[in-house]
Amino acid sequence: MANRNNHHTSPSGDLSSIRVTRKHFLRFALLAAVGAVATEGGAAFLLFFKAKKVGAFGGKIVAGRVEDFPVGSVTRFQEGRFYLSHTPDGFVALYQKCTHLGCTVPWKPEDASEDDLANKGRFNCPCHGSIFNRYGVRKAGPAPRPLDIFPVSIVDGKVVVDTDPNKAIQRSAWDPKHAVKA
Ligand code: FES
């Protein structure tokens, strides 16, 4: 008996195989597309967290080799929002956020120094005029305390700074124990 609804039979038998193949192909294509989106999304997710954790503010930053920073040098790390200052007592990573009202404090290499490590260079907050020396210690202005510092460690001859703001250390004065020797 003839079956009018049977799409699986055809004079040549090709139609059913084409239909099945097309159906499978479409399903496969859909799965492939979903997979691609998921993979890209996963990659973007991982990259996002990698960026947050390594080399950017909030994570650990490898500043460079110890010998790249002579004593007395102040080096800005814009991404990490800190200055690496190499004092005779060791390294300190000074958080750029002013301890008065939070403005970003620029390093002024041509301004008169407020310490005995060099003739020039100090931090000068543009908002209300607080001044800090290479140790991050306040020398003038309304800031209530020195610049905060991030934990520093020396790993394989490199200076590593942990810029997690929750780990920023508040100080009341310069203490050599805050500096990390190479
Ligand atoms: S915010 Fe820096 S002196 Fe006020």
Give the 3-state secondary structure of residue 74.
strand
Distance CA 76, CA 30 (A): 49
pLDDT above 90: residue 41 = no
Q: Establish whether residue 96 lines the binding site of ligand 1, counting it when its CB lies within 6 angstroms of any ligand atom.
A: no
pLDDT in tens, 69-78: 999 999 999 9
* pLDDT at res. 12: 44
* pLDDT at res. 48: 46
* Closest among 124, 116, 170, 122 to 146, alpha carbons compared: 170
pLDDT above 90: residue 3 = no
Using CA atoms of 170, 174, 176, 182 in order, give the dihedral in degrees to the nearest 10. Answer: 70
Segment 154-169 mean pLDDT = 97
10-14, 104-108, 138-142, range with the lowest pLDDT: 10-14
Distance CA 32, CA 21 (A): 16
Ligand 1 pocket test: pick from 96, 124, 128 the residue with the most ligand atoms within 8 Å of its Cβ.
128
Q: List the structure tokens of 163.
A: 């810029």
User: Which residue, chain included where needed, has tokens 């492939």?
Assistant: 32
Q: Establish whether residue 147 lines the binding site of ligand 1, counting it when its CB lies within 6 angstroms of any ligand atom.
A: no
pLDDT in tens, 110-120: 999 999 999 99
Q: Is the dihedral of CA 167, 161, 78, 134 positive or negative?
A: positive
Ligand 1 pocket test: pick from 97, 101, 122, 147 the residue with the most ligand atoms within 8 Å of its Cβ.
101
Cβ(104)–Cβ(57) below 8 Å: no
Distance CA 157, CA 63 (A): 11
pTM of the model: 0.72
CB-based contacts of 64: which residues, under 8 Å, 6+ apart? Answer: 158, 159
Q: Establish whether residue 140 lines the binding site of ligand 1, counting it when its CB lies within 6 angstroms of any ligand atom.
A: no
